[in-house]
Amino acid sequence: MDDKHEKVRRTHRAWALALTVFLSAPLGGCAGAGAPPISSAEVAAGLESYRLGAGDRVRVTVFNEPSLTGEYNITPGGALAFPLIGVVGAGGRTIDAVQKELTGKLAEGYVNDPRVSVEVLTYRPFYILGEVNRPGEYSYASGMTVEQAIARAGGFTYRANEKTVFLRRQTGAGESAVALRSAQVAVLPGDTIRVGERYF
């Protein structure tokens, strides 16, 4: 009788373990492998290769041309309207690429030997959804981690899965599972963080 009861208990434990694994696994096609830890050097490199988009605000400096130097917004269509030369396509392009185009167009009879510098003053926001107390859109701060972003959104709700969240890079095709409290993962401008519910 004891052996029979022990077999039943083992069977129940096995089913419970299988159910736990099934429920904690991400749905197929919704999430990729866990995002690797991102070092501060990689974060800096990510911002250096950052591609401009709607919501960014940049400062364009044309040396010795104060009338052209100023702050400009990237429009929802990804355009930067610049004096003399008109609209320049900036969405999805690196700062370096936009800087070179502005330099080239100004050199076409507008400014002799133009020297142009472009810097991002305000990055576009990131988004946080799901089981946080204040989901929505938040301004980006350089060096921010996923855990800091969750704190800005008021922390987890009582239903939240506090072990794993999902991160979608604006430049990526899908979500990556991020294991919290194991390694710091940086948030980049335009990212979307999704906090799911816990299952048990």
DSSP assignments along 125-183, one per residue: PEEEEESBSS-EEE---TT-BHHHHHHHTT-B-TTB-SSEEEEE-TTSSSEEEEETTTS
- Among left, alpha and beta (phi > 0; psi -120 to 50; other), residue 37 is beta
pTM of the predicted model, to two decimals? 0.66
Would you call 47 helix, strand, or coil by DSSP? helix
Q: Which two tokens stand for residue 89?
A: 């396509």
What pLDDT, on the 0 to 100 scale, is given for residue 173? 67
What pLDDT, on the 0 to 100 scale, is given for residue 43? 54
% of the chain at pLDDT higher than 90: 56
Per-chain mean pLDDT for the chain? 80
- Contact between 164 and 179 (Cβ < 8 Å): yes
* Domain spanning 51-122, CATH architecture: 2-Layer Sandwich (3.30)
| Domain parsing of the chain, residue ranges | 34-48+124-200, 51-122
Instruction: With a cut of 90, say whether residue 65 has pLDDT above it.
Output: yes
- Distance, CA of 94 to CA of 96 (rounded, Å): 5
The amino acid sitting at 105 is: K
- CB count within 10 Å of CB 185 equals 23
C-alpha dist (Å) from residue 68 to 18, 73, 109, 150, 173: 65, 14, 15, 40, 38
Domain at 34-48+124-200, CATH class: alpha beta
37 — pLDDT class (breaks 50, 70, 90): very low
pLDDT in tens, 84-116: 999 999 998 999 999 999 999 999 989 999 999
- Distance, CA of 117 to CA of 162 (rounded, Å): 43
CA neighbor of 136 nearest in space, from 159, 152, 156: 152
CA neighbor of 67 nearest in space, from 19, 111, 10, 8: 111
Q: Which two tokens stand for residue 76?
A: 């929802």
